[in-house]
Amino acid sequence: MAGCGTSDKKSAGAEKGNESLPTAEESLRAEYWMYQDLGPVPVAVMNPLSPEKIELGKKLFFDPRLSGDNSLSCASCHSPEQGFTDGRPTAVGIRNQTGPRNAPTLINAAYYKKFHLDGSVNSLEEQVLKPIQNPIEMGQNLADLVKELKAVPGYVKEFNNVFQGEITPERIAMAIAAFERTIVQRDTPFDRFMAGDDHALTQEQKLGMELFANKGNCMVCHAGPTFSDNDYDNVGVDNGDLGRFLVTALEMDKGKFRTPQLRDLKYTAPYMHDGSMATLEEVIDHYDVAEHVNQYVSQDFVPLHLTKEEKKALVSFLRDGLSGPPLRIDPPLLP
């Protein structure tokens, strides 16, 4: 996929004729021709955004009443202070039950085409209700939740104001999804560099950016404005989780998980679908060796033969070049 950028660059150079050669920064940007601005957040036609709906969704997101024993909120596993994750290898739910997968960040999640690490959910609205009902996550019965929220006058008033109707599971999901669509990071050194600021990235980060596009082989999967191709791959993390296979029942999908978006990696450790890698250095070492632990590992997963300096530059680009200011969201006053 990186080769496409090279082809466009050559064509552009030919058209310039006698004009001056592109700078190193211009050439590097040309490698990333497909990484245009994120663009507007995708919004479901049936769930248009409004400030009031977003504010209601924010309150619900932080409200522990959404869990069966009122001990956990959505923010418990997706804390703004921890990059909208929980900082644990795998999520811990109601009654301290441990789940099988890492809690993925919600940053830029609205840009995914499918949701959950295995792509088992088709919309952000549908996704919202899954952890609420999951017995090892929030363990809540939706009928009980509606009854509990209807007992709160403030919620009754806000739902009526936003939806011109009563509280329902579908409207709970729509409000929370509206809030989650505001969790967007687009102000990183990489984004500023792509917008024309030659000094937004350090020289080491520029080397890492070049490695990402070429020797690092990262663009094969981490492609496009979100750094995700919205596809699924087995990258040799074999913890017994069948991943995408549980959705499709296709043999070739065993151990496959969605390619994650990469902005704000600084805040979202640990990494991989099982949270088994505490640092980006571990992640790069894993990809550098590219051990095929089973027959289902992607053919694109090949040894990289990176030097120590190259690994350091790639980590610097991923950790700092792709991370912006922390997305601070103060917990709201609940009704």
pLDDT digits (tens, 9 = 90+) for 4-51: 443 444 444 444 444 688 899 999 999 998 887 899 999 999 999 999
Q: Is residue 163 part of a domain?
A: yes
Q: What is the pLDDT of residue 34?
A: 87
Residue 192 and residue 81 share a domain:
no
Give residue-wise pLDDT tens across range 227-238. Answer: 999 999 999 998
Q: Is residue 29 part of a domain?
A: yes
Task: Indicate the residue among 180, 201, 220 that finishes a domain.
Answer: 180
Residue 110 and residue 126 share a domain:
yes
Residue 310 and residue 204 share a domain:
yes
Domain CATH for 166: 1.10.760.10
In terms of Cβ atoms closer than 10 Å to its own Cβ (0-12, 13-18, 19+), residue 64 is middle
How many independent structural domains does the chain possess? Answer: 2
Give residue-wise pLDDT tens across range 181-239. Answer: 999 999 999 999 999 999 999 999 999 999 999 999 999 999 999 999 999 999 999 88
Give residue-wise pLDDT tens across range 267-321. Answer: 999 999 999 999 999 999 999 999 999 999 999 999 999 999 999 999 999 999 9
Q: Tell me what percent of the residues of the chain surpass a pLDDT of 90.
A: 91
19 part of the active site: no
Residue 268 and residue 230 share a domain:
yes
Which are the contacts of 91, defined by CB distance < 8 A and separation ≥ 6?
77, 98, 99, 101, 102, 103, 137
Q: Is residue 216 part of a domain?
A: yes
Residue 113 and residue 7 share a domain:
no
Q: Is residue 154 part of a domain?
A: yes
Residue 128 and residue 253 share a domain:
no
Pairwise CA distance, residues 82 & 77, whole Å: 9
Task: Indicate the residue among 180, 207, 240 that finishes a domain.
Answer: 180
Q: Is residue 326 part of a domain?
A: no
Among candidate residues 31, 137, 158, 180, the one labeled active-site is 137
Residue 317 and residue 190 share a domain:
yes
Residue 274 and residue 171 share a domain:
no
Prediction pTM value: 0.91
Residue 115 and residue 76 share a domain:
yes
CA distances from 35 to 99, 103, 245, 259 (A): 34, 26, 30, 16
Q: Is residue 41 part of a domain?
A: no
Q: Is residue 39 part of a domain?
A: no
With 80 as the cut, is the pLDDT of residue 104 above it? yes
Residue 239 and residue 147 share a domain:
no
Lowest mean pLDDT among 4-8, 149-153, 330-334: 4-8
Q: Is residue 15 part of a domain?
A: yes
Give the distance, in angstroms, between the CA of residue 334 and the centroid of all CA atoms in the same chain: 27
Task: State the residue range of the domain holding 138.
Answer: 51-180
With 70 as the cut, is the pLDDT of residue 1 above it? no
Task: Indicate the residue among 148, 163, 180 that finishes a domain.
Answer: 180
Residue 132 and residue 88 share a domain:
yes
Q: What is the pLDDT of residue 19?
A: 65
Residue 302 and residue 191 share a domain:
yes
- Joined tokens for residue 125: 């609205």
